[in-house]
Structure 1
Amino acid sequence: MPSAVRTARETAEHALAEWGIGLRHPTVGPALLILSELVTNSVRHAVDLSPQITIIYAAGEDCLAFAVHDRHPHQPPLYGAVTGRGTGGLATVMELTLGLGGTAVVRADADGQGKSIWITLPL
């Protein structure tokens, strides 16, 4: 459902607050935008094969990580988005991630029928 984007952002904001990471931290705004774009992509493109998505949030002393998982087998070429082969939300995800000095990776499920896109950003 399109409301998944709002739910993901609100859940992330609550987790960050619990971890003592202020919403005014310079990484948080871009991180929430990245999360929103990834959830939007799953809602738009994976819904037929994956009516549910899973989001994992984690934070350490100096980094923030999150993953968006769906059960659609397509693995988008993340770094193609920054070399001119990508447009739209994924290009935004990669520009923000790399601009913050972060990393992005697609990890396939063991059965090859789904994937998680992991983003790690320095705090």
Structure 2
Amino acid sequence: MLTPLATLPYRHVLTLPTEPSAVRIARETAELTLNGWGIGLQHPSIDPALLILSELVTNSIRHAAAHSPQVTVIYGAGRDRLVLAVHDTHPYRPPLDGTVASTRAGGGLATVMELVLGLGGTAVVRADVMVGGKSIWITLPL
């Protein structure tokens, strides 16, 4: 079950242009933000979380840039949960189940799902009816 973002004591939102530098900036921002929240980068969930974040932002840049001039990254954390979300305004919502591995573009999402499930986390794609597009929400235990 996903942790509602509003119930998490720590939240941060970052909006970037959908260009390659966004991956590095999103990752560096995650590292700084997590440190600021007292979540050590040596925690076993953090390296996989940073890889997941990098894959999701890369996918938005590769596949959504024509429809989405910006990508928004949402970071959240509580005592026992880390939440990451990546939003773009492209209408396509990729499946986050076993079918992602069988699609040509699914390599990155297959890796994301393997990491999420390996850590005991959850992943969901949510449509955004207000501004269009979708968000991919990842919740990982801390």
1:112 to partner: Cα distance:
7.8
Task: Indicate yes or no: 2:111 matched with 1:92.
Answer: yes
How many Å separate the matches in 2 of 1:92 and 1:110? Answer: 28
Choose from 121, 135, 138 the match for 1:102.
121
Determine the structure 2 residue equivalent to 1:45: 63
Q: Which residue number in structure 2 is paired with residue 58 of structure 1?
A: 76
Which deviations, in whole Å up to 9, do the C-alpha atoms of 1:28-53 show, x marking residues without a partner?
Answer: 00000000000000000000000100
**Residues 61 and 81 of structure 1: is their aligned pair in 2 closer, same or farther, counting only changes over 3 Å?**
farther
Q: 1:107, 1:115 within 8 Å by CA — same for their partners in 2?
A: yes
TM-score, normalised to structure 2, is 0.82
Distance in 1 between the 2:120 and 2:99 partners?
Answer: 16
CA distance in 1, matches of 2:80, 2:91: 32
**Residues 9-18 or 86-95, more deviating:** 86-95
Which sections of structure 1, spanning at least 5 residues, go unmatched?
none
For 1:111 and 1:18, how far apart are their aligned partners in 2? 31
Aligned length: 122
Q: Distance in 2 between matches of 1:36 and 1:78?
A: 17
Q: Identity over aligned residues, as a percent?
A: 71
| Structure 1 contact 54–70 (Cα < 8 Å) conserved | yes
For residue 92 of structure 1, what is the amino acid of its counterpart? T
CA distance in 1: counterparts of 2:140 and 2:86, whole angstroms:
15
Greater than 2 Å deviation, 4+ residue runs: 84-87
SS in 2 for 1:78: coil
In structure 2, stretches of 5+ residues that fail to align are 1-18
Q: CA RMSD in A?
A: 1.4
Task: Report the AA paired with residue 63 of structure 2.
Answer: H
